[in-house]
Amino acid sequence: MQNVKRRLLNSDFCILNVEYLHHKEKIMPGFEYVDDELCCDSASISKIASKVKTPFYLYSHDTLKKNYQSYTDAFQTVDLLVCYACKANSNLSILRALGNMGSGMDVLSYGELFRALKAGISPEKIVFNGNGKTSEEMAYALQSGVFAFNVDSQNELFLLNEVAKANNIVARIALRVNPDINPLTHPYVATGLAKSKFGVPIHEAKEVYRTASTLENISVVGIHSHIGSQLSKVELYLETLKKIMALVKELHDIHIHLEFINLGGGIGIPYQESESMPHPKDLSTIISPLINDYRLILEPGRSIVGPAGVLVTRVLYIKHTHKKNFIVVDAGMNDLIRPSIYGAYHHVISATRHSNTEEIMYDIVGPICEEGDFIARERYMPRVKQGDLLIIKDAGAYGFSMSSNYNSRPRVSEVMVMDGKDYIIREREVCEDMICKESIPDILKEI
Ligand code: LLP
């Protein structure tokens, strides 16, 4: 963005963030300006917003497909099963669309398994993750015939063995190992450090495998690791894989033979233009030569669905104080919580391109009763006015799936564009939905 004039309306004291100053407008695949109107797979977002109440999530099916295929294309020489991490976005249509492309699923709760099965995903392509599985979840997964459990601890292994026995089923397992590798990411999503709550420390794993191999209703079939999310370096996977392969060899020596190696998810996406993130091809180049004849499982979430979705929000008010320029939008931290809890950056653009090159520094905030309710802070944008539509980018992953009813706000609708046509894939909630499971005991009504 050249020749941009930037003004700090009433706020010359605001600290300039150099990164923001140099931030260029980035239009991602699937979302392009056509005649100054931002379109999703050639459908005008403004037109969709005239039919669907804002805020709403909007997904590009085309981008979803390209992102999924970037994995299958990259790993042609390896027997790869992509188990999309449906925690990133578990809308039934997203799951179905990915299932249609051939994807399996990584689920980590009763609810996620229920969704995956409802979406028509074959249980033989489902892996069950999590460090706190209940016996109820185990029984449901066993009866559904999931491909494998990623077992997080020895005690989980014992419980799974019992539940499998009670159901007269043999549970296929991979042990989640913790390789003690610093994934260089946000501490909340760094899962492969020795101090993390996840997995069995890799140096203790051989003994746990040995125990597992003695359990009657357990079949040891794989090994799993997921060191973190929003990873920017494929070398981290290589480091993990090297440790895993050393263990696999040791297991081989004690006659424990595995079918697959599951390296989890984690490839990051460039939320800011200045960030550079690996492509699945980079991952393949570095790890495929080491996989030998093992089947490889990957559990990508963010890199598949993140850039395929945006949050569309409308400007309610513009407010200038003597310290700041605020854009108050109708999307709040209950709709997109990532900026509030991780300080995450999401690029924000206008649905209509402005010829005005003057940029103003704004804080983009929501309507929730908390100061931590913001979408973006100290962000330069062309002048915005009341009623404008803003697009919060890269919101497809951990957007809707982390949304809540905080402040008794109904959760928003979700729309997917396929072949230029928009489909509502989730209706906006109404107030009745929020209270339908609540009741007032008679004793409270007696007064
Ligand atoms: N596999 C396992 C075992 C996981 O725990 C996760 C994510 C994934 C796969 C998928 O990782 P991905 O490819 O999406 O990075 N709410 C946070 C992200 C939490 C990630 C949790 N686990 C955020 O908004 O950044």
Q: Over 80: is that where the pLDDT of 8 sits? A: no
| Beta carbons within 10 angstroms of residue 40's beta carbon | 27
- Do 65 and 40 share a structural domain? no
pTM: 0.93
- Do 198 and 74 share a structural domain? yes
Could you give the residue numbers annotated as active site? 369
Q: Over 60: is that where the pLDDT of 93 sits? A: yes
Assess if residue 392 is contained within a domain. yes
Question: What integer is the mean pLDDT of 80-85?
Answer: 98
Check pocket membership of 226 for ligand 1, CB cut-off 6 A: yes
- Do 265 and 375 share a structural domain? no
Q: Over 50: is that where the pLDDT of 11 sits? A: no
- Do 65 and 50 share a structural domain? no
Assess if residue 2 is contained within a domain. no
Check pocket membership of 298 for ligand 1, CB cut-off 6 A: no
> Which of 67, 229, 267 to mutate to test ligand 1, by most ligand atoms within 8 A of the CB atom?
229
- Do 317 and 421 share a structural domain? yes
- Do 237 and 347 share a structural domain? no
Q: Over 50: is that where the pLDDT of 394 sits? A: yes
- Do 128 and 51 share a structural domain? no
Distances (CA, A) of 301 to 68, 282, 293, 298, 401: 10, 17, 25, 10, 12
CB 397 within 8 A of CB 436: no
Last residue of a domain, one of 264, 284, 301: 301
Ligand 1 atom closest to the CA of 191, numbered from 1: 5
**Rounded CA separation 306/402 (Å):** 13
Last residue of a domain, one of 249, 279, 301: 301
> What is the structure's pLDDT at 27?
64
> What is the structure's pLDDT at 6?
58
Ligand 1 atom closest to the CA of 402, numbered from 1: 16
- Packing angle of the helix pair 202-214, 154-166 (nearest 10 deg): 20
What CATH number is attached to the domain comprising 410?
Answer: 2.40.37.10
Question: What integer is the mean pLDDT of 339-367?
Answer: 93
Check pocket membership of 237 for ligand 1, CB cut-off 6 A: no
- Do 342 and 214 share a structural domain? no
Last residue of a domain, one of 245, 280, 301: 301
- Do 84 and 23 share a structural domain? no
Name the pLDDT band for 311 (thresholds 50, 70, 90): very high
- Do 84 and 37 share a structural domain? no
Number of domains in the chain: 2
Ligand 1 atom closest to the CA of 398, numbered from 1: 24
- Do 146 and 162 share a structural domain? yes
Instruction: For the chain, state the CA radius of gyration.
Output: 24
- Do 237 and 291 share a structural domain? yes
Check pocket membership of 335 for ligand 1, CB cut-off 6 A: no
Domain that holds residue 219: 61-301
Q: Over 50: is that where the pLDDT of 205 sits? A: yes
